[in-house]
Amino acid sequence: MGCKKESEEDLVDNNGQVGSAANALLSDEVYKKLEVEIIHMQGYTPTSSTISNLQSFLSSCLKKPGGITISLKEIPTQSQSSYSTSDLKSIENNHRTIYNVGNTIAASIIIVDGAYTNNNVLGIAYKNTSMAIFGGTIEENSGGISKPSRSKLESTVLNHEFGHVLGLVNVGSNMVENHEANDHEGHCNNDNCLMYYAAETTEIASFLVGNDIPELDNNCEQDLTANGGK
82 falls within a domain: yes
Question: Under 8 Å CB-to-CB from 62, ≥6 apart: which residues?
Answer: 25, 26, 34, 68, 229, 230
Q: Over the stretch 130-158, which tens digit does the pLDDT of each residue have?
A: 999 999 999 999 999 999 999 999 999 99
Q: Return the minimum-mean-pLDDT range out of 10-14, 158-162, 196-200.
A: 10-14
17 falls within a domain: no
The pLDDT value given to residue 11: 74
Q: Which of 53, 25, 10, 2 is nearest to 130 (CA)?
A: 25
* Average pLDDT of the segment spanning 192-218: 97
> Band of the pLDDT at 177, cuts 50, 70, 90?
very high
The pLDDT value given to residue 3: 39
Query: Is residue 4 pLDDT above 50, yes or no?
Result: no
Query: Is residue 222 pLDDT above 70, yes or no?
Result: yes
Q: Which long-range contacts (CB under 8 A, 24 or more apart) does 91-96 make?
A: 91/39, 92/39, 92/130, 95/39, 96/37, 96/39
Q: Over the stretch 29-84, which tens digit does the pLDDT of each residue have?
A: 999 999 999 999 999 999 999 999 999 999 999 999 999 999 999 999 999 999 99
13 falls within a domain: no
Question: Under 8 Å CB-to-CB from 142, ≥6 apart: which residues?
Answer: 148, 149, 150, 152, 153, 154, 205
Pairwise pLDDT comparison (8 vs 84), residue with the higher score: 84
Contact predicate 191/115, CB 8 Å: no
Range of the domain at 124: 22-226
The pLDDT value given to residue 10: 60
Assign residue 39 the CATH number of its domain: 3.40.390.10
Count of the separate structural domains present in the chain: 1
Query: Is residue 226 pLDDT above 60, yes or no?
Result: yes
10 falls within a domain: no
6 falls within a domain: no
Q: Which of 181, 164, 162, 160 is nearest to 173 (CA)?
A: 164
5 falls within a domain: no
4 falls within a domain: no
Q: Over the stretch 75-121, which tens digit does the pLDDT of each residue have?
A: 999 999 999 999 999 999 999 999 999 999 999 999 999 999 999 99
181 falls within a domain: yes
Query: Is residue 193 pLDDT above 90, yes or no?
Result: yes
Query: Is residue 9 pLDDT above 90, yes or no?
Result: no
